[in-house]
Structure 1
Amino acid sequence: MSQAQPAAPATALSKIHKMRFCIAFFIFSFCWMLALQVVAAVLLPQRLTDIAPDSKEAIFGVLNSATALASLISNLIVGNLSDRTRSIFGRRTPWIASGGIIAGISLFLIGILPDGTTIGISYCVSMVGLNMMIAPIIASLSDRVPEDMRGTMSAFISAGTLFGSALGQIVGAQFITMQLPGFIVSGVVMGISGIAAVICWPKEQSSKDMPAVQADFGSLIASFRPPIKGARDFWLAFVGRSLLLFSYYMILNYQLYILQDYIGQSTKDSAVTISTMSIVLMVVSLISALSAGPISDKIGRRKVPVVIASLLLAVGYALPWLMHSPMGMILFSAIGGFGYGMYGSVDQALNVDVLPNEEEAGKDLGILNIATTLGQMVGPIVTSAIVVNTGSYGMVFPTAIVMVVIACIFIMLIKKVK
């Protein structure tokens, strides 16, 4: 069989198709994130408390590590396989629709399985199903969306994720004393996320007539090779993204402990501050996410929003360090959250713009998504190491500032994107 040839560039979209893509990206991101947060942030920790009160922290830590690994591997594999899929429904649609069903069923099962082992297996399967949707959805930015619309679409993805995350925690809290209905709601919402996406956006063209790919095992293994030729900008984006997320999660994942152990608030007062921070973060990040992406498309620039976002994040990190008060953390949520929303709104568009080969978009975007996992995993580990070695959170903030500045430098070195 012949090797696959590069796909034709995405053609201009009509106003109706633009609207359908915007709606599809928002609904998909909102639904999967809401469903996941209902379980991950509220119901799963409570479920572990009920079935294993003496070892809940250890089990929860193992589950988080296992699901992060499952997400990383499945995103890379599914992204590659979707590049190679040939069907009357297109390359991406079969994965998106089936992934939602798998993720929804396995997410619901967490609410009825009896022990940590079976819950962990079901949780990992759910992450595989979720990434069966995410990898092809993001790859479709390259396949089906023209370059001058990618910032806008990326903004709707970011806004849906942010809104779903905030609302998911609120919804989950309503089911904490009656968990099974909560798991049912979560499973159903996750299940319909992929189906809703493929219904809302314009029908994907058949890929049956695309050039075939070699199907032998050796060719499949070789297809997972990271990009090397002409991939300078790709790897600069990878490092920049890793470091920026690294810096953000150094503080975000430890905000409760920062309020209690660094600023000195009581448990009750810190809970009030966290609630205020969550509301502020949701509002400002939604505003910046929905505005920065379209502006990026209009001015034809990706780096400008990233530079501004990096500066806002650096200021946000500095305020709790300098003010040493609850107001400093609230301002971190306001200023840093605005910057993070701005970065998120152009993040995926920037990633697509630096792809060395758009025909391998699914696989290469899967590699770039490893940066997300690395940032979320390594950031908190570094924070923990700093606190253990210094006995304080004081050095966490300047370290985060240095990381985001270096991240900005790496992204500014990209030549392919203005």
Structure 2
Amino acid sequence: MGTGFAIGAALFAVTGIVTVLIWPRERSSAASVASVESSDATAKLDVKQLLRSFIPPTKNCRDFYLALMGRLLLILGWNMISGYQLYILQKYCGLSVKDSAATISTMSVISMVVLIVTSMVSGPLSDRLQRRKVIVAIGSVIIAIGVAIPCFMPNALGMMLFAGIGGAGYGIYIAVDQALNVDVLPSQEEAGKDLGILNLANTVGQVLAPVVVGAIVLATGSYAALFPIAVVAVLLGAVFIILIRRVK
């Protein structure tokens, strides 16, 4: 595992440097600095304005919060299964530790391939059709189908089908969801802050997943109930996306 972490750290470092080297250089800020220094209005730090910048949007924000809830529920449902594959394979499917590790390796390859393919196709397709929420909702439904399969196939094949079908839906979702989020921003002047709030759905969903999974397993003594609950979460996320009005 140490080798894997070392390679990951090296890749992050290299890609960070490469990004700085190839990214278009910004316009010189010398004139802007001089303007700021000569302006009394901006010379002092406005604490109230700073604190106000952390307040979530309160106007023209219906679609914004629908997108937020849609992403939160989908990330929650997805991570309830993808984050616990090893335990599911051992405790639910009855595989040994060795067979579980081999199955996860196969699932990872399947997910990677289908995710790359579907994300490369669905992004340009969304731009050409000028459709966002429909494609995001379709991706969510495909994820739900993938998650539901192990309910009826509690074995390695069922989990591999989850990786393939669910991974395809997730590829469709991630390719278009961010564009959808940009389209529902209440204010272009506060786009950075609002996108940050939307991105919190990723973190919160990943944090909530262990809490929900732990509660379900403790209450039922099994991993079987994870699948229908995850399906419901993902489909509810799709409903929130469909209710968005501003975006087609």
How many residues in Structure 1 have an aligned counterpart in Structure 2?
240
Q: Cα–Cα, structure 1 residues 416 and 204, in superposed 2: closer, same or farther, change >3 Å?
A: farther
2:26: which partner in 1? 204
Q: Deviations over 1:154-201 (max 9, x none)?
A: xxxxxxxxxxxxxxxxx61xxxxxxxxx63x54443234334224334
Q: Cα–Cα, structure 1 residues 234 and 206, in superposed 2: closer, same or farther, change >3 Å?
A: farther
Q: Cα–Cα, structure 1 residues 302 and 204, in superposed 2: closer, same or farther, change >3 Å?
A: farther
State the identity as a percent: 51
Is 1:262 the counterpart of 2:92 in the alignment? Answer: yes
Q: Deviations over 1:271-325 (max 9, x none)?
A: 1111110110110001011111111011100012112111111110111111111
- From 314, 335, 338, the equivalent of 2:168 is 338
Whether contact under 8 Å (2:134, 2:242) holds in the other structure is no
Q: Cα–Cα, structure 1 residues 305 and 389, in superposed 2: closer, same or farther, change >3 Å?
A: same
Distance 2:49 2:119 in 1: 40
Distance 2:54 2:11 in 1: 32
Offset of 1:357 from its aligned partner? 1.1
Distance 1:388 1:290 in 2: 40
Counterpart amino acid of residue 76 in structure 2: F
Is 1:301 the counterpart of 2:131 in the alignment? Answer: yes
Q: Name stretches of at least 5 consecutive residues in structure 2 with no aligned partner.
A: none
Distance 1:369 1:231 in 2: 16
Between 305-314 and 187-196, report the one with greater CA deviation.
187-196
- From 74, 80, 84, the equivalent of 1:250 is 80
2:12: which partner in 1? 190
Distance 1:398 1:306 in 2: 21
Offset of 1:408 from its aligned partner? 0.4
- From 393, 399, 416, the equivalent of 2:223 is 393
1:368: which partner in 2? 198
* TM-score, normalization by structure 2: 0.90
* TM-score, normalization by structure 1: 0.55
Higher relative contact order (CA 8 A, sep 6+): 2
5 Å-filtered alignment, 1:24-63, equals 42-43=1-2
The alignment partner of 2:54 has SS state of coil
RMSD: 2.0
Q: Cα–Cα, structure 1 residues 410 and 256, in superposed 2: closer, same or farther, change >3 Å?
A: same
Counterpart amino acid of residue 191 in structure 1: A
Whether contact under 8 Å (2:74, 2:234) holds in the other structure is yes
Whether contact under 8 Å (2:123, 2:172) holds in the other structure is yes
Distance 2:159 2:223 in 1: 13
Q: Name stretches of at least 5 consecutive residues in structure 1 with no aligned partner.
A: 1-41, 44-170, 173-181
2:52: which partner in 1? 222
Whether contact under 8 Å (2:181, 2:195) holds in the other structure is yes
Distance 2:105 2:218 in 1: 27
Is 1:313 the counterpart of 2:143 in the alignment? Answer: yes
2:67: which partner in 1? 237
- From 288, 305, 312, the equivalent of 2:118 is 288
1:275: which partner in 2? 105
Is 1:326 the counterpart of 2:135 in the alignment? Answer: no
2:235: which partner in 1? 405
Q: Deviations over 1:64-108 (max 9, x none)?
A: xxxxxxxxxxxxxxxxxxxxxxxxxxxxxxxxxxxxxxxxxxxxx
Distance 1:352 1:198 in 2: 24
* Runs of at least 4 residues off by over 6 Å: 210-213
Distance 1:198 1:302 in 2: 31
Distance 1:350 1:242 in 2: 14
Q: Deviations over 1:99-154 (max 9, x none)?
A: xxxxxxxxxxxxxxxxxxxxxxxxxxxxxxxxxxxxxxxxxxxxxxxxxxxxxxxx
Distance 1:386 1:264 in 2: 19
Counterpart amino acid of residue 204 in structure 1: E
Offset of 1:361 from its aligned partner? 1.5
Q: Cα–Cα, structure 1 residues 192 and 357, in superposed 2: closer, same or farther, change >3 Å?
A: farther
2:208: which partner in 1? 378
Q: Cα–Cα, structure 1 residues 192 and 217, in superposed 2: closer, same or farther, change >3 Å?
A: farther
Counterpart amino acid of residue 141 in structure 2: L
